[in-house]
Amino acid sequence: MAEVQGVIVLDASALLAYLLEESGADPVGEVFGAAIISTVNLSEAYGRFVRVGRDITDLDRKLREEAVVEVIDFVEADAVAAARLLPATRAYGLSFADRACLALACRLDLPAMTADRAWRDVDCGVEIVCIR
């Protein structure tokens, strides 16, 4: 596996805040070039673009031209870690994609950046950076 150069793992909500110019976009823009995202969270971002009627090609262009985010495959170890996070995250309503982000952050020993305030109360051994 190639060495990961990222310093923070992005949740789809953080990436989308930047791409859709929502509240909290600035801190996300500051980490581009040093950020990574799981394929699960990238898929979630693509899904949001489709739901709001935006062309996925828009997202691809922005990721290539502006965001400079490294995409990391969701692997079997992440699947196991995401499942193990269920008891710690269930009460806070975290989704599978949320847990996938946290699992990647755990695997790489990096902080996770999100727009979801509920993550601040989760105790899962990962530093949480909330943009809102």
Q: Which two tokens stand for residue 110?
A: 């990096």
How far apart are alpha carbons 6 and 17 in whole angstroms?
19
Number of domains in the chain: 1
Q: What CATH number does residue 64 fall under?
A: 3.40.50.1010
Q: Which of 70, 60, 78, 3 is nearest to 33 (CA)?
A: 70
DSSP state letter for 4: P
Q: Is the pLDDT of residue 7 over 80?
A: yes
Contact (CB, 8 A) for 54 and 16: no
Q: Is residue 121 part of a domain?
A: yes
pLDDT in tens, 8-22: 999 999 999 998 899
User: Containing domain of residue 107, as a range?
Assistant: 8-130
Would you state the structure tokens that stand for residue 108, as one six-digit string?
């790489």
Q: What is the DSSP letter of 73?
A: -
> Is residue 18 a part of any domain in this protein?
yes
Q: Whole-model pTM?
A: 0.90
Whether 1 is in a domain gets the answer no
pLDDT digits (tens, 9 = 90+) for 24-82: 999 999 998 889 999 999 999 999 989 989 888 877 887 777 767 889 999 999 999 99
